[in-house]
């Protein structure tokens, strides 16, 4: 199954996935909006929601637009480079008085090297698909290359890595955040890979209900 095309063409799944992705990400950052409110703001404008701040609206819409930018990169370029990733990072804050950039030239170079590694045949041969994705996620989390939004970018990149490897796009629910962070801190690639494979199986069940 082409999961990139599914996200682009199946509106039921696209709205479900984007809303869940935004909801999980913002909840981990302290948001108290419900999934229903998140969905409404992302796709219906949230006109009936009285107690929502402009900042909450921008956070949701910017994350949605960042996801769309990733899908655009997948459509128009063979691979993603450090400049495209920076644009995704900036989209997260495009309505905020925050200028996002790489923390240094070396961090930009390390991201470029990391993205190139993901495409190398040797890397693909030495690890399973989920170990590849887990490795890249851990490396990106540890690198934290941007001045803002590193955790959100790492999770968006994981979705990109999944779609590049043609496996179901993976989300990390709020309840699993501490577990995943432990895997990252101790560089538990195999344990994280097993977790990601389980999440992919759960996502496949959701996909089956939408197609």
**Confidence category of residue 46, pLDDT binned at 50, 70, 90:** low
Q: How many domains does the chain have?
A: 1
Region label for 45, one of left (φ > 0), alpha (ψ between -120 and 50) or beta (otherwise): left
Q: What is the 3-state secondary structure (H, E, C) of 3-32?
A: HHHHHHHCHHHHHHHHHHHHHHHHHHCCCC
pLDDT digits (tens, 9 = 90+) for 77-100: 888 999 999 999 999 999 889 999
Select the more confidently predicted residue: 52 or 200: 200
pLDDT above 90 as % of the chain: 80
**pLDDT higher than threshold 80 for residue 13:** yes
Residue 46 CA to residue 40 CA, distance in Å, equals: 5
What value does the mean pLDDT of the chain take? 93
Phi, psi of 52 (to 5 degrees): -120, 130
Which of 51, 52, 116, 49 has its CA nearest to residue 82?
116
DSSP state letter for 51: S
Structural domain of residue 199, as residue ranges? Answer: 3-210
Residue 184 CA to residue 119 CA, distance in Å, equals: 22
Question: What CATH number does the domain containing 205 carry?
Answer: 1.10.3290.10
* Burial class of residue 2, CB neighbours in 10 A (0-12, 13-18, 19+): exposed
138, 113 contact by CB (below 8 A): no
* Section 177-198 average pLDDT: 98
**pLDDT higher than threshold 90 for residue 125:** no
The pLDDT, as a whole number, for residue 55 is 86
The pLDDT, as a whole number, for residue 50 is 60
């Amino acid at each position: 199954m082409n999961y990139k095309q599914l996200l682009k063409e199946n509106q039921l799944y696209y709205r479900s996935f984007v809303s869940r992705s935004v909801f999980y990400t913002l909840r981990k950052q302290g948001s108290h909006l419900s999934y229903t409110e998140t969905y409404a703001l992302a796709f219906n404008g949230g006109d009936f929601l009285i107690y929502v701040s402009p900042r909450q609206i921008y956070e949701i819409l910017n994350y949605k637009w960042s996801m769309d930018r990733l899908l655009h990169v997948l459509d128009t370029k063979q691979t993603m480079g450090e400049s495209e990733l920076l644009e995704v990072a900036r989209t997260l804050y495009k309505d905020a008085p925050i200028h996002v950039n790489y923390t240094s030239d070396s961090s930009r170079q390390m991201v470029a090297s990391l993205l190139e590694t993901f495409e190398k045949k040797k890397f693909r041969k030495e690890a399973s698909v989920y170990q590849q994705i887990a490795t890249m996620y851990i490396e990106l989390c540890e690198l934290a290359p941007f001045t803002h939004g590193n955790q959100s970018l790492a999770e968006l990149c994981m979705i990109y890595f999944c779609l590049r490897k043609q496996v179901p796009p993976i989300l990390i629910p709020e309840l699993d955040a501490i577990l995943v962070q432990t895997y990252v801190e101790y560089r538990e690639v195999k344990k994280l890979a097993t977790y990601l494979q389980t999440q992919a199986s759960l996502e496949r069940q959701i996909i089956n209900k939408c197609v």
